[in-house]
Amino acid sequence: MPFRQGSARTRQRTVLLVGVVVLLAALLLAVVLASVLTHGKQEVSPKMLKWKDRGTTKNLQEVILGRCYNYVMARYPELGDKDCLKIWESLKHAFIYKNPCNITSEDYQPLMELASHPIPCNKSLFWSKTSDLAHRYTKSNQNFLTLEDTLLGYMADRVSWCGDPSAPGINYESCPKRSECESNPSSVFWKMASKMFAEAACGVIQVMLNGSVEAGAFRSSSIFGSIEIFNLNPNKVSAVHIWLMHDIGGPQTESCSGHSIRRLTSILEQRNFKITCEDNYRPVQLLQCVHNPDHTDCRLCTNTTAAP
């Protein structure tokens, strides 16, 4: 009887030992598989690639919130009902932990709805290759607004952001350029914001173009030429005024009778818009001359006769 009991205990120990070995083997296999899967994810993560554009702006949350509060509390208090915290959260959720080459318009739709606001008629100023001049003009003349003067554009101007599938979900080192992938956070955002800005325009609108650009003042590939122009509503916009500006002292590559302006005029006429074009719109040229007062291009009004 003792022999049988000892034999039974031996078998029990053997079974228990085999069970422990199997359990350890299963745990080891799980660890190995997890390691392989994690290693594979790291290899394909966009963060492991070096993009060509600058990374996410440092302290992005503080920058966006600060600009939002400044816009709705100080600059345009009539927009004080805007919820800046919700606006920030909707922007963050549009890109955080996401592949920066797979951003969609749906990602930004909540942000667009939260931050949109009416644009007064006759105030919309569109631009292409005249960014600095257009924004200097709207700062000196409150009668006009560019996209960057709206809440959406004001918050995002000269700011960058992109996500990453791995923690912390934001890539501060680099972000993709449009040439690397078109569906990147910046490109998708500005396309949607530009579309919304154009749709909101009403009355007489202004378009500031650069007549000193060698490739032509109007380009079909630009945001204005590919998005904004086709989202203007002929039932809301009564006329389009084109201001064709030339760099002070720079080449006058194109005038209002130039090839690309004729192409732009044709597109607008086909969409039933009334168009005017003016070379070197004087109020804007005077602003250019502030930095070049002695240049010959800025002496149009100096040949006056002194009183006797």
3-state DSSP of 139-179: HHCCCCECHHHCHHHHHHCCCCCCECCCCCCECCCEECCCC
162 catalytic per annotation? no
Three-point CA angle 73, 117, 265, nearest 5°? 130
243, 284 Cβ separation under 8 angstroms: yes
Q: How far is CA 220 from CA 169, 215, 228, 242, 295, in A?
A: 35, 11, 11, 16, 33
The answer for residues whose C-beta is within 8 angstroms of residue 60's C-beta and 6 or more apart is: 159, 161, 170
- Given CA atoms 211, 217, 222, 224 in this order, what sign does their dihedral have? positive
* Rounded Cα distance, 184 and 182, in Å: 6
Catalytic residue among 68, 162, 175, 202: 202
Q: Give one word for 59, left, alpha or beta, with left for phi > 0 and alpha for psi -120 to 50.
A: left
213, 128 Cβ separation under 8 angstroms: no
Beta bridge partners of 145: 124
275, 268 Cβ separation under 8 angstroms: yes
* Rounded Cα distance, 196 and 88, in Å: 19
The conformation of residue 217, written as its DSSP 8-state character, comes to S
202 catalytic per annotation? yes
Active site residues: 121, 202
